[in-house]
Amino acid sequence: MLLSPICLFTYNRLDETSQTVDALKRNYLAWDSELFIFSDGPKDEKGIIRIQEVRDYLKTITGFKRIIIRESQDNNGLANSIINGVSEVVQEYGKVIVLEDDLITSPNFLNFMNEALSFYKEEEHIQSVNGYSLPLSKFNEDFYILTRPFSWGWATWENRWDKNIFNRTRLQKEIDSNPDLLTKFAKSCGQDTPKMLKDSISGKNNSWYIRWAYDHFRNHKFSVYPVNSLVENIGFNSDGTHCNGIGAYNFRMKPSPKREFKFEEFAYPSERITNEFLYYFSIKRKLEVRINALKTSTGRKLLFEEIKQKLNTR
């Protein structure tokens, strides 16, 4: 099996970046994998020092078959960095595994991703593979399939990735011509998706991910998940560009030594799994998490930071 290259996107968080890389280096397939690191540039002069600290660290990384570092002089933002970086690598290699700088992976993360990429290479229904998973009810398989993808450690193929997926003008015209699309999107991918997509199209947020999720929905494509999460997000803090405040679906992973995963031919997702998964993106779930947060000092602090950030962005 020819291993997929890995894309790692970094910015100005040295501590999280080093934890992400250390965990990735402990993957069973790290030594045989090529690592492309994309370092985004500063927004202003204040950010230069922190970014340079990250870049100095990146030059010390070892433990992979080959390491290629791309340093941008400009601040492209996470969305443009990912869209352009993934496009560059996937066009050359035909497939890609993608990580951001706040994701801790289990040692068998690369095993699952590469095996799924190989197994579903010719399956036109599958558009992506995920490393993160939510704690759903017990079942025996190694994987499950859903419409909504996740952005915390994922992979795809060249023939299922296109920059036009993210074209805001095209998306706006499509939604304007069919107002029912957003309602259907919510039903298929979660109550949070319509607002997130509208904000992404208008530029209020810079989410590439919601446009990626919309493309899965619009074209009736699906995403593969591990039953047990192989990724943990450590970016829920005040430094997180896109992950700060309280996470309604951030859980600790439970690593296992498993190195071979069993996949099966495509079958449409079950209603049970879909409903359980989408519950984590519901208004009810978000309220429950925030009410529980009030019970601890740490939770109250996170809630305060979340409210402050929302007020500052108005």
| Structural domains in the chain, sorted by start | 6-281 (3.90.550.10), 284-314 (no CATH)
SS3 311: helix
Element (H, E) at 244: none
Q: What is the pLDDT of residue 299?
A: 74
pTM equals: 0.93
Q: How high is the pLDDT of residue 245?
A: 57
Residue 286 near residue 248 (C-beta atoms within 8 A): yes
Q: Which of 105, 167, 166 is nearest to 130 (CA)?
A: 105
Listing DSSP states for 198-240 in one string gives: HHHHHTSS--SHHHHHHHHHHTT-EEEEESS--EEE---STT-
pLDDT of residue 15: 98
Q: What is the DSSP letter of 64?
A: S
Residue 26 φ/ψ, nearest 5 degrees: -80, 0
pLDDT score, position 161 = 98
Structure tokens, 297: 């000092």
In this structure, which amino acid lies at residue 4? S
- At residue 178, the pLDDT reads 94
Instruction: Name the burial class of residue 237, with classes exposed (0-12), middle (13-18) and buried (19+) by CB atoms within 10 angstroms of its CB.
Output: middle
- Model pLDDT, residue 279: 95
Question: CA-to-CA distance for 154 and 21, rounded, in angstroms?
Answer: 16
Biggest CA pair distance of the chain: 53
Segment-wise mean pLDDT, segments of 10 residues, the chain, 314 residues: 96 98 98 98 93 98 98 96 98 98 98 98 98 89 96 98 97 95 97 97 95 98 96 76 62 88 96 94 89 82 74 58
